Structure 1
């Protein structure tokens, strides 16, 4: 493909006079846009030919637009094209202006690459409204068989109609080409130059050329088609010969000849002399008598009549829906003429159905983030959503479409409009329209911003072709740490054929790996493994011009002994400051905070090394997991982080975020990583048997008598024992019995038991256990119902009602 620089031309409309668009023309409808064939010549293959002419009609013209115009394949070569009254040579490497019929060509340099003004009318005919004064267009060569056209709306003539023709004045047609030559228009997805196609010539060498120049999609209620018959020379259509169009199984022609309209396209007007005879699946066409043959090469169009109510007669009927195959309806061309081609597509058949799909489900979005107003990247922009009718009328006026995100996502913008404000501003705006169908956003449903509602508005008078609608420029907010496919549930009353679609692949903005060391409880300054933090892509760590931070957050009972070493090992992230800070509860050295100067332009990796921990005696055996978060990774607006429990069920002490909009419960990290494991020495491998007696201050351990300062007692049918002495009796050392003024902590091997006076809940390694009676303080000692404290340490218990004794046995570990 050879590309050139844009050539730009401003077309200034001076005097606008009448345009007559012939009735025989193809039309590819779009929202306010049509492509109408004006001349469809019959040509031969293997040579440079002049192809046809078609009109672009945009009503109203209100936006910039671009589209690629292409002939069927690279064997075709477009050498010259005429847009309005300006001609361009496309035979070289780039488009060159070659002049205008109303201009002095010497005023223009055909090789020049900057803007120029053409002062002639783009099309000297009525059709453009008076308030369309000027527009600028650009043309560039995109391939041998195609070019791109860009229309630049300058804000003049809002709501005006713009019409201008395009002619393919020199095209190299390959050898062996046959049938209709279609020019395909592929729009960019936005603007007013929409997808479509138009027949620009037919290749034939016999008596007649037959083409379907305006086809429709239809369902069981039938459809219409416009068929063009062109003579290769004057007098080819005769009364003695018959042209036949034969439909496939399941279809037939309308049996009323009066429902058919015959009009002249050019040459001798023989339209009134053409006889139409429908006979089930065969449509016969002939002249009434030999006196009516053409004296100039003629072309006629055959289509359904326009009825008094403004509708068009449907001349193709579905005779047997069990035999009618969905897809293109291809009619065979038969009869006594030498006709090109031997078959034509007269329509597309399908059941009423509407599909919905994502245009790019592979797009990546980041957990914990959402669209940032000042970011140069499209952060968390998800796939556009395409809605297509199989046949016109599948979408019904007033029906709804509901798109519900999963629990880890919230709508933030739809159609580039923010929809998640607390006051729900941005309701009821138009998303797209096509072929008489408008899709309107009607607000968010519920209270969690997950369900977006859309309403279909259909103009039955203009809904002739199936609509294709697109919901573009959509952004979501995503819960931190939740990854995987972002699947949207499809609902509503519109009857869409798909239950769900995937809008994005959700990933964490960083991947984190770590080495792991062993550490012991109750020991300070212990080495932990280094941590590597790698961006998924450049800018994934969103520094917000140095305002946001990346935080490594330690769990309860662990703090940094000293400030680790932090450096960038790859990429171009620029670290500004590194500090150890306290959490919201005032615990020192709980958070390693990394500050930056700016976002990366190359995906970067941060290494955190020389990490040393102080591990207190409340930490249970197992991994020490570090949270990796901070405002550079978690940007979603959330509630005060000091007032909720995080996604692992523990109260979080991380800093508060202050936003107006609340999306999630306030998770403050995207990933956890273990860089140390708490290990403890094996407990004493002896069997412990302890006996306590109600109202006695003595107890025995393995037969040895000991004294306690608070005697066991019975209250409300429960036997209470002093927890400290139970712990001693079962082998807990005095160093492992801790009291912080609120709760008592006991450490035995890999068990950490915590009891809070006044509460019925004790915890074992952090897991809550509900007792049937609360713990309490008597004579300065924490007293707990004996069965619960014994079982917390894994001991067996026995109650002797006669002797009023409690026996506890802890087997050797």
Structure 2
């Protein structure tokens, strides 16, 4: 015998023609891995018998996974196990192959009964798993290790999808004294896709019979079929004198019994041998056909009765000679739609037997309806960008879209589905195909249960609407579940919020709109703010911090794209600011001042990079000085943050300034209609406020309020991060914000870890927390209360800091405000 064999995984599933999930099914999930009970038999202890079957599901399967499967303790002994129809003997020292398909298997393989199996398990709809193998080793009397792999012939990222396969415990010794549910425990290696979990594989006791619905349907008013499985706990439990009854709820009735089949076991004709004085039971005829032995009938429309027949020969009866399971297929009709309740149709289990469970779900009733939903509405997409093939991130890939029928037939052949994006978005790819390409139109995006969905191109003049068409054939008996995957959008710069797609068409979907993504700017920008005057050159402005939302959000295109800080009219850079990376691994190459489209010098600060970041990075721009001419009005100076590293979607009016060759850029898109007529930046930030009009200079007046985080400068409201407070009769203000309010730039606020330094014109003020001493141009001044640090800010009694800067101060006890006035320079 061979210890273990690598096996291709297209297998014969003769005994699992129909997958089912009975009432009482157990399930354990972990990271896309599930273990689902399929058959949970009722058995006796101190016996060697067949336990249940469970399904292993991995979605998606990749490769290299292993786990140990163990019964509760070492008193259990696993003698034989069948994995995907391949039988192994574990009764010896090692696992040995017994029977099944262990050859090399191509994509199309003929099984022993002549049917074609294209997937690992066609009945469960394995997705994309065409080449697969596994091996099994014995780890103990009660356990084994299963190792999963793929055979290397397929592209893992494209061809590997959902994997499902059954494991059957076909021969197990159950020790004496065992009781209740028998659980199989799965212990994963920690790195693979076979995760920790457990699944019930049998129950000790529980009655004479177990009843389960092994194949149910979702149906509407035309009804549907159900397959009922009846399993004996031991041979001979089914009897001719006892009846099992399945009673449907109001509004439903049994129609007809279309089939009775034997799952496993044997029926025979029994009699008492008259020649034998001991009266032993003899077997007259072996292997009685199940349709001969089993009687089923519908009474009172709502009740299905099942028992064994009685032969015509007097003194004879039918009986199973080994533990037996039978399947009965019957149709359920909707008898009265006013009484029939939508949802699970639950039949009560009645009759003469000790049977479990007491009720089972035999189908799902609903009206014709189809739902559409986003599988993950929390996906993040970037404004101003579209999918970059060579980007390290999957830029602007939005949520997959799932379409589900409530009952088969809800989606009608030829009906359409229209998905319309808002005005700030355009479809770029659907099902990983460029929407403007010749190959996209008419392509199938998904199929399930006889229903296909094709993409038929974009509709309308603005190309925001994607059209899909439903194609249905007669083979689909179960509700279809379709998915539109790998979808990408191009987004207008600076527009953020939920990306909602409007749902239309003739398919009659129940939802008007769905959210495909959360749209954010690729960067967040913050700035300090100073006050500047009209008609004055070389005025200090606040520093600006630009932080990536995630690594690669600033798309440098291998150093070809730039990040631009663009000034408004009437303002220009006096000199080139200092630009540095303060966190992350962005690598700056060059920094230059360039002209705008109108030829105005020093209007744009252009930052060039060597490569994209692999760690989200922050750029600091400091030592910023502005020339402000007399055309600028009072209020904030708003700096636009854009450039081709942030705005990758071409703008129809900015091609000349953003791209060296606009026509080449459109060709790279393969879809020339993707552009927006909006702005060429993603965000604006104010780092200076024009507070004094020229030529009439005015005083600098700041008002602070106790316990408030807002203050005003010449009537313009600003925000501080540490509120003024009163302590020991002294009112403390945050020195940094007092300095800003009186005209000190952020570059002239310094902290060396011990003392704070503030420079205003020719005045240098220094404050040391914990000390009552401050200095003004080196001269020492003793305060009546020490400076201190609160919430990371240096706090000083307001009269002393006002005096240090040469400002007049006024305290309003009623309104709890401090007003400082600095005479115009």
Give TM class, smaller chain.
0.5 to 0.7
Are residues 1:596 and 2:609 paired?
Answer: yes
Match of 1:301 in 2: 327
2:381, 2:517 within 8 Å by CA — same for their partners in 1?
yes
SS at match of 2:132: strand
Equivalent residue, structure 2, for 1:445: 459
Instruction: Provide the residue aligned with 1:536 in structure 2.
Output: 549
Number of positions where the alignment pairs a residue of Structure 1 with one of Structure 2: 602
**Does the aligned pair in 2 maintain the 1:218–1:392 contact within 8 Å?**
yes
Which residue number corresponds to residue 288 of structure 1?
309
Cα deviation for residue 638 of structure 1 reads 2.9
Shift of 1:41: 5.3
* Equivalent residue for 1:351, pick from 331, 355, 367: 367
Task: Choose from 258, 261, 264 the match for 2:262.
Answer: 264
Aligned-partner Cα distance in 2 for 1:125–1:625: 76
CA contact (8 A) 2:66 2:146 kept: yes
- Could you tell me which residue of structure 2 aligns to residue 21 of structure 1? 14
Question: Is the aligned partner of 1:177 residue 2:181?
Answer: yes
Q: Indicate which of 376, 379, 382 corresponds to 1:360.
A: 376
In the alignment, the residues of structure 1 paired with residue 607 and residue 98 of structure 2 have an alpha-carbon distance, to the nearest angstrom, of 68
Secondary structure, counterpart of 1:271 in structure 2: helix
| CA distance in 2 between partners of 1:41 and 1:147 (Å) | 23
Note the 1:369-408 alignment, pairs <5 A: 369-408=385-424
Residue deviations 1:76-123 (CA, integer Å, cap 9, x gap):
99976634436599xxxxxx99332379xxxxxxxxxxxxx9658899
Contact 2:443/2:455 (<8 A) preserved: yes
Q: CA deviation at 1:412?
A: 0.9
Check 1:176–1:10 CA distance in 2 against 1; reply closer, same or farther (3 A cut).
Answer: closer
Tell me which moved more, 261-270 or 393-402: 261-270
C-alpha RMSD of the superposition: 4.7
Contact residue 583 and residue 655 of structure 1 kept, 8 A? no
Residues 529 and 207 of structure 1, relative CA distance in 2, 3 Å threshold: closer
* Residue of structure 1 equivalent to 2:533: 520
Are the equivalent residues in 1 in contact too, given 2:386–2:395 (CA < 8 A)?
yes
Q: Does structure 2 retain, via aligned residues, the 8 Å contact 1:248–1:331?
A: yes
Judge which range, 315-324 or 495-504, deviates more.
315-324
Give the equivalent residue in structure 1 for 2:477: 464
Equivalent residue, structure 2, for 1:489: 502
In the alignment, is the contact (CA less than 8 A) between 2:41 and 2:210 conserved in 1? no
Task: Report deviation, 1:325.
Answer: 2.4
What SS does the corresponding residue of 1:272 show, helix, strand or coil? helix
- Which ranges in structure 1 are unaligned for 5 or more consecutive residues? 1-6, 29-34, 58-62, 90-95, 104-116, 185-197, 305-314, 644-651, 686-813
* d(CA) in 2 for partners of 1:550, 1:654: 13
Q: Structure 2: which 5+ residue stretches go unaligned?
A: 22-34, 121-129, 138-142, 187-198, 268-288, 667-671, 698-825
Instruction: Give CA-to-partner distance per residue, 1:172-192, whole Å, 9 cap, x none.
Output: 9995339xx9999xxxxxxxx
Are residues 679 and 508 of structure 1, via their aligned partners in 2, closer, same or farther at CA, if it must alter by over 3 Å?
same
Are 2:166 and 1:154 aligned? no
When the two structures are superposed, what TM-score results if normalisation uses the length of structure 2?
0.64
Provide the rounded CA distance (Å) in 1 between the counterparts of 2:167 and 2:683.
58
**Structure 2 residue corresponding to 1:679, chosen from 686, 691, 703:** 691
Is 2:80 aligned against 1:98?
no
Q: 1:222 Cα shift?
A: 1.1
Q: 1:682 to 1:46 in 2, by over 3 A?
A: farther
For the residues of structure 2 that align with 1:171 and 1:599, how far apart are their CA atoms? 58
Distance 2:292 2:366 in 1: 34
- 1:203–1:340 CA contact under 8 A, matched in 2: no
Task: Name the SS for the 1:537 alignment partner.
Answer: coil
Are the structure 2 counterparts of residues 624 and 609 from structure 1 closer, same or farther at C-alpha, using a change threshold of 3 Å? same
SS in 1 for 2:333: strand
> Are the equivalent residues in 2 in contact too, given 1:206–1:339 (CA < 8 A)?
yes
Describe the shift of the 1:276–1:88 C-alpha distance in structure 2 as closer, same or farther (beyond 3 A).
Answer: closer
Residues 163/325 of structure 1: CA separation in 2 closer, same or farther (3 Å cut): closer
In the superposition, relative to structure 1, how do residues 558 and 545 fare at CA in structure 2: closer, same or farther (>3 Å)? same
TM-score, scaled to structure 1 = 0.65
Partner deviation per Cα, 1:445-465 (whole Å, 9 max, x = no partner): 1232311111111112x2111
Residue 671 (structure 1) shift: 0.4
- Shift, 1:489, TM fit: 0.7
Of 492, 500, 518, 1:479 maps to 492
Identify if the C-alpha distance between structure 1 residues 20 and 597 changes in structure 2 by more than 3 Å, giving closer, same or farther.
Answer: closer
CA contact (8 A) 1:46 1:175 kept: no
How far does residue 221 in structure 1 lie from its aligned partner after superposition? Answer: 1.4
Residue equivalent to 1:547: 560
1:401-800 equivalences in 2 (<5 Å): 401-421=417-437, 425-460=439-474, 462-641=475-654, 657-658=662-663, 659-660=665-666, 661=672, 662-665=674-677, 667-681=679-693
Correspondence 1:126 to 2:113: yes
SS at match of 1:260: strand
Q: Secondary structure at the match of 2:292?
A: helix
| CA deviation string 1:21-52 (max 9, x = no partner) | 36984458xxxxxx999988553589997435
The change in CA–CA distance for 1:591 and 1:212 in structure 2 (over 3 A counts) is: same
